Structure 1
Amino acid sequence: MNYGTTVADVEQAIYDFVDEHPEYELTHYHDILERNGLEWGSQAMSGADVSELDGQAVMALLLGAVRAERFCAGALLGFFEDGSMRRWLLRLKGIDGRDGNEVRHE
C-alpha cells in the first residue's frame, strides 16, 4: 500500500515518539492493550472506548494500528477511514490539555 505523505508523516511521528520516550514501554503495545481490556485487532481497536484510557494506552492503539499495516496491507487506511485515528488523536489532545503532559503513564 502506498500512502501519501500525511499518513507517512503520522506513522513516522508515532515511531519517533516511541523511540524518544522509552519510559512509556510502547514496544510492548500488545501487553498495554491487554492490560486495558483491548485486543490487538481491527474491530476491537476501532470499537475501543478511549474516553477513559490514559495516554500510554492511546499511544499503544496508535502504534498497534501502524504495526497492523506490516501484517495486513490497508489496515492503517481502515483506521483513518473509520475515524479511529481521529478519535485517538483527539483523546491525546484532551489528555494533553487536561494535565499538561504529552502522555500520561502509570
Structure 2
Amino acid sequence: MYESLTALIPALKTDNFGEWIVDRENDGTPEHPIQFPFVNYGEAVQGLEKEIYAFEKQHPDFGLKRYNDILNENEIEWGLDSMKKADVSNLDRRTVMALLLGAVRAERFCDGALLDFCENGSVVKWLERLKEIDGD
C-alpha cells in the first residue's frame, strides 16, 4: 500500500536533500530587491512530497486533511521538536501518514522545515515504520 513512498527510502538515505539558496547579489534597493532565502529541494524530497500528496488524494478515508487532529489524538504536537521526538514504533499507519503530511505542510509556514525533518532522519524513520506496517 505504501510502496510508492517506501521505495524512496534508499534515495533519501543517499541523495542530497536540498540546499539553502541565499541572495548575495542584490543590495535591497528598489532596483535590486533581495530575494528571501529558500530551500532548493533535491529530487528525492520533491518525489516524496509528490507521493505524500498523491496518497492523501487517493485515500480520503484516512482523513489526512485533519493531520493536526490525528497527531493530537496520539499526543504528538504539530511542531518540529514534538514530531522529531515521536516514538513511531507503535504508531498506526494513519498517524505515520499524518506525520509525513504534517512535515510537508510545515514547509508552508517555516522554510526549511521539511529539510530539517529529512536531515535529522525523521522522514526515513517514518517511512521505515510504514514499510514495517506494510509487511505485517
TM-score between both structures, scaled by the size of structure 2: 0.71
Of residues 54, 63, 68, the one that matches 2:101 is: 63
User: How many percent identity over aligned positions?
Assistant: 58
Structure having the larger proportion of residues in strand: 2
Q: Aligned-pair distance for 1:69? A: 0.4
Distance 1:78 1:59 in 2: 18
Alignment of 1:65-104 (within 5 A): 65-98=103-136
Q: Aligned-pair distance for 1:5? A: 1.5
Q: Aligned-pair distance for 1:33? A: 0.2
Amino acid at match of 1:79: F
Amino acid at match of 1:76: L
Q: Name the structure 2 match of 1:12.
A: 50
Structure having the larger proportion of residues in helix: 1
Consecutive unaligned residues in structure 2, runs of 5 or more: 1-38
Q: Name the structure 1 match of 2:76.
A: 38
**Secondary structure in 2 aligned to 1:2?**
strand
* Residues 22-55 of structure 1 deviation map (CA, whole Å, 9 limit, x = unaligned): 0000000000000001000000000000001000
**Secondary structure in 2 aligned to 1:37?**
coil
Of residues 44, 53, 63, the one that matches 2:91 is: 53
Distance 1:97 1:61 in 2: 20
Q: Aligned-pair distance for 1:61? A: 0.2
Q: Aligned-pair distance for 1:6? A: 1.1
Q: Name the structure 2 match of 1:21.
A: 59
Amino acid at match of 1:37: E
- Highest CA radius of gyration, 1 or 2? 2
Consecutive unaligned residues in structure 1, runs of 5 or more: 99-106
TM-score between both structures, scaled by the size of structure 1: 0.91
